[in-house]
Amino acid sequence: MSNVRHFLDVDRLDSQTLRRILDRAVAIKAAFKKDRNAHADLLAGQTLALIFEKPSTRTRVSFEVGMRQLGGNVVVLKPDDMQLGRGETIGDTARVLSRFVDAVMVRTTGEERVHELAAHASIPIINGLTDQTHPCQIMADVMTFEEHRGPINGRVVAWTGDCNNVAVSWAHAAVRFDFEFRLACPARYGVPQALLDWAKAEGTGRLVVTDRPEEAVRGAECVITDAWASMHNTDVDERAAILTPYQVNEALMDRAHPDALFMHCLPAHRGEEVTDGVIDGRHSVVWDEAENRLHAQKAILAWCMGAKA
């Protein structure tokens, strides 16, 4: 159905819609801090299905707790619990769930699985993570930046590591929220040309690509990294060898803006992509970032499900 509000990827929504969701996330968080029951009936009577084809800590807890704090119900489904894991098509699963629940969040492998669910569902589908993108995380990240430093428009954000799903969603955000995003990635795990072409065609934001972390972080107002191996990667040792020069340590942070923020979507592998001194240091906002998954996703749920303020 064309009027269904899916949250599939940051690049699939316009800037105004994304800004409205973020503004609502800020309002939801502020109200929650004053009164934990401030929005306790916003999604009363609604049910969210959570499909996990990949393990999860933050996504599972933040969506389940968030939905319950809005007064809704949650059903958690894993591959062994579903006929989807026994040969039922994605389309048929989407049609059936559309008769039972009011929205679905899915954390899976290829993004095509999320898009196929959306194509056959008559209820909102939310991308909780794929191998290609992680849009809910980036909404929380932009919220965190603005919480600490004000509007992200026109700012400089730096990434160091491989161009993984989080980096791709940050690139989408750079275009939609109009800021400069510098990616320091080794050639082996570099930025896809299709992503650069899309950003250029959109005409807003700016992607800068280098293979030198020192160049990327120079003067940056936020420095971000992620684990060197994602759940679907099998070349763990090779990746570690190639990505070691991309570690975020104190020396690298010293090249950023003096008040730069450090972000990491977690879980972190301390001593690999980031040192203890950085993740526990004065630049780090990783715990605020993790908390904001809860509030950003409550706003996403409210938008998808058409909840009024």
User: Is 35 a known active-site residue?
Assistant: no
- Which residue in 113, 134, 257, 264 is the catalytic one? 134
Nearest Cα to Cα of residue 157 among 80, 257, 242, 76 = 257
User: Is 226 a known active-site residue?
Assistant: yes
User: Is 265 a known active-site residue?
Assistant: yes
User: Is 107 a known active-site residue?
Assistant: yes
User: What distance separates the 2 farthest-apart alpha carbons in the chain?
Assistant: 55
User: Is 39 a known active-site residue?
Assistant: no
Predicted TM-score (pTM) of the model is 0.96
pLDDT at 163 > cutoff 60? yes
d(CA 112, CA 165): 14
Residue 1: per-residue pLDDT? 44
- Which residue in 226, 257, 264, 297 is the catalytic one? 226
User: Is 293 a known active-site residue?
Assistant: yes
* pLDDT tens-place string over residues 185-234: 999 999 999 999 999 999 989 999 999 999 999 999 999 999 998 766 66
Is residue 93 within 8 A of residue 83, CB to CB? The reply is: yes
* pLDDT tens-place string over residues 246-268: 999 999 999 999 999 999 999 99
CB atoms under 10 Å from CB of 43, counted, come to 25
